Structure formats: structure tokens, C-alpha cells
Amino acid sequence: MSDQGYKGTTIEDIAGTARVFKGSFYNHFKSKEALAIEVVNRYEHGVTASLSLQGPPSPLQRLRKHFESLAAVFEESDYRHGCLMNNFSAEISHTGKPLRRALDEAYIRWFSANAEVFRQAQAEKEINAGYHAEQLSRFLCNSWEGATNYMKVIRSRKPLNDFFEVTLSSNLLK
């Protein structure tokens, strides 16, 4: 699904990759959408798990480390794949209500984890306490997702570098 996308991946592709008969797929999942929901949940868990909720280092350094670890994964694919949640979101925006709901819930969990680190950064006076941590988290993550979209177009880290420079390396948050 990361290579061909949600819509471009067939049950036959999945069964072939798993080296099972197509009918065996349905012993585990009711539909391709049910598998995609499981994929989204596991992907988000891995993404969120890469964010250290406790220090050291400082909260902002932990946020940077989190996004740098995601960037390293994208680099391994020569910037072709990007964020699976973002890719699925673009593909299914007009269909698949259960998958859209699962994506929304996955984003909310990721936003929430980032917001916790922002609250810590505010408590340690690394960033301006006037910001709402939840809103700041959504802004940061949505900026990241936009950068990962353009990264795939130009197959370059440059949009990610811009993200780091403007969001985590500047005085924007002070």
C-alpha cells in the first residue's frame, strides 16, 4: 500500500505479497478497507512511539528528534513514499467513511502526543505559553504533512529542511 497507494492496491496484490490465496485474506479481514484501518493504526502507533514524551533532552529537542526520525525513513525510500496517513488521506477524502474516521483518530492521537511535549516546552519556557498546545501541535503536524507532500514531488529533503528551519529552529515559537 505504501508503494501503490490504497486505491492502487488490490486484494490480489495483498495476497500475492503475503504468499497466500486470495480467500485466505478474508479469514483475517472483512475487506481491504478493514486491512487499511489496521495499517493506519499500526503506522500511527509507530510514528507516535518515535516521540519521546519524557526528557532528556529538552522538549523542543525531542520534537526535532521525532521529526528527524520520520525524515530518515522518508530518505530511505528516496523521498517517494512520505507519510502513509497523509497519502491515504489524499486518496480517500471523498470515500471510505470508516477509513476516514480511523485516519482522523490516528491524527488526533499523534496531535495529542505532540501537544503534550509542547505543554512541557511551555512549562520549561522553551516556547511562548500564550499558544494553545493543541493548536500548535496541529499546526506543526499539518505543516509537516504539507512538506512531505512536496518532498515526494521533488524527491528531495528541501521541504523538510524548510519545515525544520521555520518551525523548530527559529524564534517563531518564542
C-alpha dist (Å) from residue 133 to 76, 96, 102, 105, 158: 31, 30, 23, 18, 27
> Which grid coordinates are listed for 134?
493543541
12 inside domain: no
Nearest to 111 by CA among 71, 151, 145: 145
Q: How far apart are CA 114 and CA 149, in angstroms?
A: 20
20 inside domain: no
Whether the per-residue pLDDT at 99 is higher than 80: the answer is yes
Q: What is the pTM of this model?
A: 0.90
52 inside domain: yes
Whether the per-residue pLDDT at 79 is higher than 80: the answer is yes
Nearest to 71 by CA among 173, 137, 165, 174: 165
72 inside domain: yes
When divided into structural domains, the chain yields a total of 1
Whether the per-residue pLDDT at 53 is higher than 90: the answer is no
Residue numbers of the domain that contains 106: 30-168
25 inside domain: no
CATH number, residue 124: 1.10.357.10
11 inside domain: no
Those residues with Cβ within 8 angstroms of residue 127's Cβ, 6 or more apart along the chain or in another chain: 60, 118, 121, 136, 173, 174
Average pLDDT over residues 40-58: 91
4 inside domain: no
